[in-house]
């Protein structure tokens, strides 16, 4: 039996601009996904995906070498899985190429709708199993900057950057001195990252200027030691991205009466936001209908 684990991810700075080479502050989460591989004599590939409660949310059975579906509980999920496995075989023709069968079980340690990387953790786990490059597997199967793969593979915060299309990952030993004042709030909906990326790609703006500004803010945010200065940097980051994307900030849209700083993370309009506040902040968001408020310390590795 083989067992793999990949960390979830959050992007604290650099969203969207990271696609064009901006420096981004990315952090792996304490939550992630397991993949367990057991060999069988069935000649088939049997797949079961479990949620954080151990409940199966997807089942599929495939011919092992051709990956033709025999049965599945959801066609769209099945097609996505087949695509990832096909691309893994393209990168490593020996993958799944013996006479045995396999029984696969995946298990998330976070709710699927949280947007912490159910896809990227799966891709990184499959890449480990297939012995292929996880970044290449991501880009062949889908799109994205690859920062989520870097988080899946590292157990500390990182500065992530695409340098001429090649991932550059620098581990940093940074934990904000004011982390007790930072919280993550779930917006009760998952944003489709691929749709968000496509919308950004279509924007006609000077990407080089955006990359320079966001890279500078990333460095300042990482080295910031004063909460008020951090809030200023967060607000400036939101303003620059809002203008680049042509959409209002999440604070303007949903929380205009909140007194402290708020920052979108990853694809704007869904998943988690970063909030500066105190222990009473949870009550504010709860009254607005947002019940999932997680302290920085409990989320980040």
For residue 122, give every residue at least 6 positions away whose Cβ sits within 8 Å of its Cβ, in sequence order, or none.
6, 33, 35, 84, 106
The radius of gyration of the chain's CA atoms, rounded to the nearest angstrom, is 20
Length, in residues, of the chain = 301
Distance CA(268)–CA(104), nearest Å, equals: 33
Average pLDDT over residues 132-153: 96
For residue 220, give every residue at least 6 positions away whose Cβ sits within 8 Å of its Cβ, in sequence order, or none.
233
Closest CA to 169 of 150, 152, 153, 155: 150
Check residue 204 and give its pLDDT.
Answer: 85
Closest CA to 32 of 114, 94, 101, 104: 114
Contact indicator for 75, 84 with CB cutoff of 8 Å: no
Mean pLDDT computed over every residue of the chain = 95
Check residue 267 and give its pLDDT.
Answer: 85
99-119 residue pLDDT tens: 789 999 999 999 999 999 999
Distance CA(183)–CA(275), nearest Å, equals: 5
Distance CA(275)–CA(278), nearest Å, equals: 9
At CA 65, angle to CA 6 and CA 108, rounded to 5? 20
Average pLDDT over residues 7-36: 97
What are 231's strand-pairing partners? none
Check residue 168 and give its pLDDT.
Answer: 98
Give the pLDDT band (50/70/90) at residue 199: confident
For residue 243, give every residue at least 6 positions away whose Cβ sits within 8 Å of its Cβ, in sequence order, or none.
none
Distance CA(254)–CA(161), nearest Å, equals: 31
> From residue 249, how far is each of 13, 244, 245, 253 by CA, in Å?
14, 11, 10, 6
Q: Give the pTM.
A: 0.95
237-289 residue pLDDT tens: 999 999 999 999 999 999 999 999 999 998 887 799 999 999 889 999 999 99
The residue that leads in pLDDT, 75 or 99, is: 75
What are 263's strand-pairing partners? 274
At CA 159, angle to CA 155 and CA 164, rounded to 5? 125
Give the pLDDT band (50/70/90) at residue 66: very high
Give the pLDDT band (50/70/90) at residue 195: confident
């Amino acid at each position: 039996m083989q067992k793999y684990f990949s960390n979830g991810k959050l992007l604290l700075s650099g969203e969207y601009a990271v696609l064009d080479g901006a420096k981004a502050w990315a952090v792996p989460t304490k939550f992630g996904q397991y993949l367990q591989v057991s060999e069988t004599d069935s000649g088939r590939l049997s797949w079961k995906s479990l949620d954080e409660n151990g409940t199966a949310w997807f089942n599929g059975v495939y011919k092992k070498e051709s990956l033709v579906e025999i049965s599945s509980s959801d066609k769209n999920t099945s097609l996505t899985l087949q695509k990832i496995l096909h691309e893994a075989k393209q990168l490593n023709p020996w993958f799944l190429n013996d006479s045995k069968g396999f029984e696969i079980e995946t298990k998330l340690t976070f709710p699927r709708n949280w947007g912490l990387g159910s896809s990227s953790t799966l891709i990184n786990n499959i890449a480990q199993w297939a012995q292929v490059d996880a970044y290449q597997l991501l880009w062949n199967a889908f799109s994205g900057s690859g920062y989520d793969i870097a988080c899946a593979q590292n157990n500390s915060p990182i500065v992530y950057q695409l340098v001429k299309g090649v991932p550059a990952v620098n581990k940093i030993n940074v934990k904000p001195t004011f982390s007790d004042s930072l919280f993550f709030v779930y917006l009760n909906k998952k944003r489709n990252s691929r749709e968000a990326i496509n919308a950004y790609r279509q924007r006609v703006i000077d990407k080089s200027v955006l990359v320079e500004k966001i890279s500078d803010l990333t460095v300042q945010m990482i080295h910031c030691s004063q909460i008020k200065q951090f809030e200023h940097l967060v607000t400036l980051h939101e303003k620059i991205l809002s203008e680049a994307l042509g959409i209002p900030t999440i604070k303007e849209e949903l929380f205009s009466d909140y007194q402290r700083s708020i920052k979108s993370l990853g694809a704007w309009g869904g998943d988690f936001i970063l909030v500066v506040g105190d222990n009473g902040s949870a009550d504010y968001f709860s009254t607005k209908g947002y019940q999932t408020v997680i302290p920085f310390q409990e989320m980040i590795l």
